[in-house]
Amino acid sequence: MDSFDVLVIGGGPAGYVAAIRAAQLGFKTACVDAFERNGKASLGGTCLNVGCIPSKAMLDSSEKFEVMQHDFAEHGINVQGASLDIAKMLGRKNGVVDKLTGGVAYLFKKNKITSFFGLGKLVRTDGDGWIVDAAGTEVRAARVIVATGSSPRALPLAPFGGHIVENSGALEFTAVPEKLGVIGAGVIGLELGSVWRRLGADVTVLEAMPGFLMAADDAIAKEGLKLFKKQGLDFHFGVNITAVEQDDSGVSVTYTEQDKEVTARFDKLIVSIGRVPHTQGLGADAVGLALDERGFVKVDQHYRTNLQNVYAIGDVIGGAMLAHKAEEEGVALAEMLAGQAGHVNYDVIPWVIYTSPEIAWAGLTEKQAKDRGLNIKTGQFPFSANGRALGHGDTRGFAKIIADAQTDKLLGVHMIGGGVSELIGEVVAIMEFGGSSEDLARTVHAHPTLSEVVKEAALAADKRALHM
């Protein structure tokens, strides 16, 4: 029987990063993962295979198509006869995925990580360690890391299949649907809805919550809704779906909105109402692995489960279901197992929505800060007053800084605009070290760059913005 110091169940961002870091630290490491793509093992989990990576590839392709159609003329570039080759676009997306998933397989070989393709299941204790069924082969592991991730949450009235899809199916449409319905106005719904709207679909978004992006700062949510409506996305909030009927040609959705019953007809329906922990086949019940009332694996602050030498990280333990959060937990846990001080600061994890414009935030919203009784100051600066944004021809949005009024400590950053997914990093770094808005304001930013908007927002928090 093969024996390992660390065995990771799950090869997504939490699992494969934990395995790599464990191997770097000298542990004999294995990873068992059941993700299959095109009939072959494919490391990287949901994120690399059918989530973060392919959706960003499609967002980029679809945005290029839209910009060419609507924005090139302003730059003096005239394009005629533009056409869409969906098959080639999907092929490019698949190529990006192949390169990255293949890259993870290469990193496993480089770090001498044993890879098993199939399900991983906790079988029984073996002294201080565990016997694990790794894709049909029993192995011994001194420590087991559960990183099995999450799965799309299904709507009971609309099980996945046929014209009703989740994120992976929404990335595989072979033709642009004339009418596309999206249930859920969260990150996935907005991104995938945006992809197909840009390519020509008439998109309707149905959301049960009474407002738009209620987890974001109010100012960001208000601006985002205005801009997305202008693009043509049709939003309906506070809806209650009462019936979903599918036939060969499409889907009919009946819902109530403001006490009125509406039935809408769609060619395709994307259901994006969140994700649930994936523990099927893990053997949790048989070995007594504790789960909470929602099915997440229970852990303490050191990612320890109720079972000795069994740990859990990533989506399967709840919290922010973000790939970068999962990766950081993988690194932190591997370092803890090596006796180091692994740590994740959950207060400054950035959130990003890769629409156009992009939305990004970290830390407290203005409302959250006030609800906590904090005395705050805010600064806001628009891209419309930024030279680089004007040169790009995209002046949508702004950056907003929230700081403590007494200590000046940065409490939150919120942005909407072109490329803000790349701009938020510097503020997160300053927040990680307990920095102030003054630290951000006095940091020299190259001119002309979009990052100057962040600096000016920090200056605005002290009522001394220079260019507005």
Q: Quick one: average pLDDT of 64-82?
A: 93
pTM of the model: 0.96
pLDDT at residue 450, rounded to an integer: 98
For residue 127, the SS3 value is coil
- Complete DSSP assignment for 245-262: EEETTEEEEEEEETTEEE
381-390 pLDDT per residue, tens: 999 999 999 9
Task: Locate 450 and state its tokens.
Answer: 């979009």
pLDDT at residue 102, rounded to an integer: 97
392-451 pLDDT per residue, tens: 999 999 999 999 999 999 999 999 999 999 999 999 999 999 999 999 999 999 999 999
Residue type, 18: A
Q: Quick one: average pLDDT of 351-355?
A: 98
pLDDT at residue 467, rounded to an integer: 96
144-202 pLDDT per residue, tens: 999 999 999 999 999 999 999 999 999 999 999 999 999 999 999 999 999 999 999 99
Q: Quick one: average pLDDT of 450-468?
A: 97
For residue 410, the SS3 value is strand
243-260 pLDDT per residue, tens: 999 999 999 999 999 999
- Complete DSSP assignment for 183-243: E--SHHHHHHHHHHHHTT-EEEEEESSSSS-TTS-HHHHHHHHHHHHHHT-EEEES-EEEE
220: CB partners within 8 A, 6+ apart: 213, 359, 361, 400, 414, 415, 416
Mean of per-residue pLDDT scores for the chain? 97
Cβ(350)–Cβ(425) below 8 Å: yes
Other C-beta atoms closer than 10 Å to the C-beta of 337 total 23
Angle at 275 between CA 269 and CA 280, to 5 degrees: 115
- Complete DSSP assignment for 136-191: TEEEEEEEEEE---EEEPPBTTB-SBTTEE-HHHHT--SS--SEEEEE--SHHHHH
Task: Using pLDDT thresholds of 50, 70 and 90, give the confidence band for residue 44.
Answer: very high
The alpha carbon dihedral of 167, 171, 173, 175 has a sign of: positive
Main-chain phi, psi angles of 306, to 5 degrees: -75, -10
pLDDT at residue 224, rounded to an integer: 98
Other C-beta atoms closer than 10 Å to the C-beta of 390 total 13
pLDDT at residue 126, rounded to an integer: 95
Q: Which of 314, 229, 295, 306 minimizes the C-alpha distance to 17?
A: 314
pLDDT at residue 345, rounded to an integer: 97
Q: Which of 398, 448, 391, 442 minimizes the C-alpha distance to 420?
A: 398
pLDDT at residue 433, rounded to an integer: 96
pLDDT at residue 306, rounded to an integer: 98
Q: Rounded distance, CA 22 to CA 11, Å? A: 14
Chain length of the chain: 468
Task: Using pLDDT thresholds of 50, 70 and 90, give the confidence band for residue 347.
Answer: very high
Task: Using pLDDT thresholds of 50, 70 and 90, give the confidence band for residue 84.
Answer: very high
Set 75, 302, 343, 447: catalytic member: 447
pLDDT at residue 448, rounded to an integer: 98
Q: How far, in Å, are 201, 375, 412, 434, 443 from residue 437 at the CA level?
A: 43, 15, 10, 10, 10
Q: Rounded distance, CA 219 to CA 215, Å? A: 11
pLDDT at residue 457, rounded to an integer: 98
Residue type, 189: G
4-18 pLDDT per residue, tens: 999 999 999 999 999
16-26 pLDDT per residue, tens: 999 999 999 99
Q: How far, in Å, are 234, 302, 388, 413, 444 from residue 467 at the CA level?
A: 36, 47, 13, 20, 15
Q: Quick one: average pLDDT of 88-98?
A: 98
Task: Using pLDDT thresholds of 50, 70 and 90, give the confidence band for residue 52.
Answer: very high
Q: Rounded distance, CA 60 to CA 68, Å? A: 12
Alpha carbon dihedral 407, 408, 414, 420, in 10-degree steps, equals -140
Q: Check if 236 is active-site.
A: no
Task: Locate 194 and state its tokens.
Answer: 């945006």
Q: Rounded distance, CA 47 to CA 201, Å? A: 25
Q: Rounded distance, CA 42 to CA 46, Å? A: 10
